[in-house]
Amino acid sequence: MHQYIEKNKERFFEELFELLRIPSISSSSEHKQDMYKCADKLVQLLKEAGADKAQVYETDGHPVVFGEKIVDPKLPTVLIYGHYDVQPVDPIELWKSQPFEPEIRDGAIYARGANDDKGQTFMHIKAFEYIVKENKIRHNIKFIFEGEEEIGSPSLAKWAKEHKKMLACDIILVSDTTMISDKVPSINCGMRGLAYLEVKVTGPNKDLHSGHYGGAVTNPINALCTMIASLIDADGHVTVKGFYDDVVVLSRKDRAMLGKAPFDIKEYKEFLDINAVAGEKGYTTLERTGIRPCLDVNGIWGGFIGEGAKTVIPSTAHAKISMRLVPDQECGKIAKLFAKHFCSIAPKGVKVTVTEHHGGNGFLIPISSNAYKAASRAMHDVYGIEPVPSRGGGSIPILADMQNILKADPLLMGFGLERDTIHSPNESYLLSQFYKGMESIALFYKYF
Amino acid sequence: MHQYIEKNKERFFEELFELLRIPSISSSSEHKQDMYKCADKLVQLLKEAGADKAQVYETDGHPVVFGEKIVDPKLPTVLIYGHYDVQPVDPIELWKSQPFEPEIRDGAIYARGANDDKGQTFMHIKAFEYIVKENKIRHNIKFIFEGEEEIGSPSLAKWAKEHKKMLACDIILVSDTTMISDKVPSINCGMRGLAYLEVKVTGPNKDLHSGHYGGAVTNPINALCTMIASLIDADGHVTVKGFYDDVVVLSRKDRAMLGKAPFDIKEYKEFLDINAVAGEKGYTTLERTGIRPCLDVNGIWGGFIGEGAKTVIPSTAHAKISMRLVPDQECGKIAKLFAKHFCSIAPKGVKVTVTEHHGGNGFLIPISSNAYKAASRAMHDVYGIEPVPSRGGGSIPILADMQNILKADPLLMGFGLERDTIHSPNESYLLSQFYKGMESIALFYKYF
């Protein structure tokens, strides 16, 4: 596909940039129309690439795009999953260029969604275009692009159940993850699940003057901090009662296999500019993100946060807290355990409420499958070395559901890199990975 | 003065409301012009009330207003201190009427500054007007109104040193505090000091995807919470090393005297809608705010605080933390102890910076003084019972400085009530207190 890319890449950029310019932030209701704009654009791209049919479908939330080219019902069917929604752009002031005005600098595309997941989804459309145009197509190929991945795919599972026949496939192919580095290609053979909650601690029924009341009432911010501090113990264990009950403990052999992935702790620390890593005692950094669950505060707020000083004891304090889960932790069960635990540790003088955001389960992919082998061979051809099997720390909650509904395994060929800083300012996608990704996908069809 | 108030109160409201309509928020640079507008209005009011001279003086910050009426240099001189700046109005959505559009409802004036300190300052101008108009003036009376009290009076001490002669006085009379209740008048005979700091905890040099990194790096929000949680121990003691070294421990007798102030814990909890009070072990609620120091988080923020869920490990987390101090804790020393302690408890993987906001020392006022006795007698006449000596939990940092520069004691006749919720939404000032305050001040001049 190398030559095809060379010949067409200016057009590719034009098409991709048009997609990236649409601010399809799924979490923000003001962008509702942008979701449709983005979905329509994808339908157009699929049709131009060679799909027999492609259309926008309504769901209970943002629309999904489905397209397909059926060559012969007897041939194996590949279902491509991707998502066209993106994360919010805060803190906007840290972006070097506008998040929705893509630009190429230093060999990479910079924009919100450049990688996650518009850039990676786009590779699949172009690899498909190539095998159609060059008459190399030997599978039935289906596409499902959703607009709610970043908010936990609340509508897709229901929609997928209702359209089970249309989505029927042998493998779900996904590019929405990273590889270890551009020198060390890897294929994700598992992802973590997610439980995400929001907590509110209420003290006095009004904001108070900290002089008049300081020292005599429970300050909700101090209380929230104390409660959060107690959620992780000195050994890095989550203290929520029952949290580890269902965690699958990996065998020595499995841990050794995952330990083969090259990892440079010095480089890692330098990249993040931290003097030390941290986490659960007894596990390596890769294990801490790959095979172990964890708890993080994703946001916290309360009291006076403006410029200067205000002497207030606020009435409320808030936090967003999430847990990454591993098989067989069930996200709904964990959310309930957390809520119960968090309420139980409230000090006197405050009330606590816990509300649940989206969640999803983790999953594992058999590396003995034909699909995994085909992907591995394809990437070997492109990168010159055999990709390493790895476990991703992130979550694509909907994939566990899709696996369950369609009875087909997902395969995660991700071409993102850590340097892409998805979900953060200055999200990027390295051009070399963009090109190699398309080549790898085209070769996957050859070997599968 | 009762009849004078009855005859003139409509004009009083007009004049006060004009003052309250000016949004003189000292912490916000956009209100710079409003500070001058407010100062000019006060000059006008002082002149109209009978001051020989009144004018606006520049300082390094917001202007001060000085006015005086010298009857006879041999007579005792009373210096009235007040401030015309106000607190910010956040959270604005909780106000029932606009903060800078004063209105009277349910027997109280509602506006930002209605009490703190425009309303209380205004009483002094009107009591002065009364004794001038009625030819009852038997003291030299001076006024100093500043525009930076709510931001810690950074400029007044320097200015006061430069204008020491002009400010020379026998007593500094202040109405900027509360009394126990409108049934139990009290006079403040001490206030707490303040040390106010802002902390920043920096982890990785960029916001990270919490899936890719969760469990392997120190999350700055979790770290900040753990650090804050450790600042107060299970017995309610502040753990900052050296924090209690200079605290004056009160005698049994002094504690017994302060314990005479009536206090209803049930009413207190109901007013705040809390199921329990909290604080330092071994002390009562009034002691916790009156004679003991404390530590409170006044604001905290970090990560994603918008609607919905974002799976991020932020690069930084922030908090505003203040300590209320008692004699003889020195605010500069405490700020340094805090900064040193806070940096020393940072976990690995994060960097900490601490910056200092304004501070001030606490002070005590001798209740054996003539001025205290005159105030007590005046309030006895107006309220029908003898006022209780009390210790205020708040801080007017500049008063300790003024006491030091002018070698005159401050006397705190405050007419605010807890229900006024100063610094909070719906700040108010009860009309009955407004009237009784003016009467008490007029009588003070009679008895002093």
Q: Of A244-248, A263-267, B254-258, give the lowest mean pLDDT range.
A: B254-258
User: Chain B partners of A302 at a C-beta cutoff of 8 Å?
Assistant: 297, 299-301
Instruction: Pick B209's closest partner by Cβ from A208, A229, A422.
Output: A422
Higher local confidence (pLDDT), B96 or B290 = B96
Predicted pLDDT at B359? 84
The pTM of this model reads 0.77
Distant-in-sequence, close-in-space partners of A198: CB < 8 Å, separation ≥ 6: A318, A319, A320, A321, A354, A355, A356, A357, B309
- Candidates B299, B345, B298; CA nearest to B323 is B298
Distant-in-sequence, close-in-space partners of A293: CB < 8 Å, separation ≥ 6: A192, A238, A243, A244, A247, A323, A324, A325, A326, A329, B215
The reply to whether residue B324 touches residue A422, judged by beta carbons under 8 angstroms, is no
The reply to whether residue A322 touches residue B210, judged by beta carbons under 8 angstroms, is yes
Gap between the Cα atoms of A128 and B115, Å rounded? 72
CB A1 within 8 A of CB A127: yes
Predicted pLDDT at B367? 80
**Number of neighbouring beta carbons within 10 Å of residue A248:** 13
Interface probe, candidates B300, B329, B420, chain A, greatest A C-beta count within 10 A: B300
Give A261's pLDDT tier (boundaries 50, 70, 90): confident
pLDDT over threshold 80, residue A393: no
CB A219 within 8 A of CB A203: yes
Condensed to tens digits (0 to 9), the pLDDT of residues A39-72 reads 999 999 999 999 999 999 999 999 999 999 999 9
pLDDT over threshold 90, residue B25: yes
The reply to whether residue A212 touches residue B279, judged by beta carbons under 8 angstroms, is no
Higher local confidence (pLDDT), B202 or B180 = B202
**Residue A145, Ramachandran bin (φ over 0: left; ψ between -120 and 50: alpha; else beta):** beta
Distance from CA of B317 to the nearest CA of A (A): 8
What proportion of chain A, given as a percentage, has pLDDT over 70? 100
User: Chain A partners of B211 at a C-beta cutoff of 8 Å?
Assistant: 191-192, 194, 289, 324, 392-395
Predicted pLDDT at B113? 98
Give A391's pLDDT tier (boundaries 50, 70, 90): confident
Predicted pLDDT at B362? 87
pLDDT over threshold 80, residue B349: yes
User: Chain B partners of A213 at a C-beta cutoff of 8 Å?
Assistant: 272, 289, 393
Distance from CA of A321 to the nearest CA of B (A): 9
pLDDT over threshold 90, residue A323: yes
Predicted pLDDT at B342? 98
Condensed to tens digits (0 to 9), the pLDDT of residues B6-16 reads 999 999 999 99
What is the average pLDDT across B87-103? 95
Give the domain B2-191+363-447 fold: Aminopeptidase (3.40.630)
Predicted pLDDT at A368? 82
Gap between the Cα atoms of B102 and B19, Å rounded? 10
- Candidates B382, B153, B436, B392; CA nearest to B292 is B392
Predicted pLDDT at A389? 85
pLDDT over threshold 80, residue B395: no
The reply to whether residue B216 touches residue A288, judged by beta carbons under 8 angstroms, is yes
The reply to whether residue A393 touches residue B215, judged by beta carbons under 8 angstroms, is yes
Q: What is the DSSP track for A34-103? A: HHHHHHHHHHHHHHHHT-SEEEEE--SSS-EEEEEE-S-TTS-EEEEEEE--B----SGGG-SS-TTS-E
For residue B88, give Cα distances in angstroms to B31, B99, B112: 11, 10, 8
- Candidates B159, B105, B79, B418; CA nearest to B268 is B418
What is the average pLDDT across B240-257? 90
What is the average pLDDT across B30-54? 97
Report chain A's mean pLDDT, rounded to a whole number.
95
Give B253's pLDDT tier (boundaries 50, 70, 90): confident
CB B120 within 8 A of CB B437: yes
Distance from CA of A52 to the nearest CA of B (A): 37
Distance from CA of B53 to the nearest CA of A (A): 34
Predicted pLDDT at B333? 97
pLDDT over threshold 90, residue A10: yes
Predicted pLDDT at B292? 95
pLDDT over threshold 80, residue B193: yes
Condensed to tens digits (0 to 9), the pLDDT of residues B200-215 reads 999 999 999 999 899 9
Predicted pLDDT at A390? 83
Class of domain A2-191+362-447 as given by CATH: alpha beta
What is the average pLDDT across A160-175? 97
Gap between the Cα atoms of A433 and A435, Å rounded? 5
With H, G, I as helix, E, B as strand and everything else as coil, classify residue A263.
Answer: coil
- Give me the residue spans of the domains in chain B: 2-191+363-447, 193-247+293-360
Structure tokens belonging to residue B132: 């001038």
Give B400's pLDDT tier (boundaries 50, 70, 90): confident
Tell me the β-bridge partners of B355.
Answer: B198
What proportion of chain B, given as a percentage, has pLDDT over 70? 100
Is the domain defined by B193-247+293-360 classed in CATH 3.30.70.360?
yes
Instruction: Pick B298's closest partner by Cβ from A28, A312, A395.
Output: A312
Predicted pLDDT at A251? 85
The reply to whether residue B212 touches residue A393, judged by beta carbons under 8 angstroms, is yes
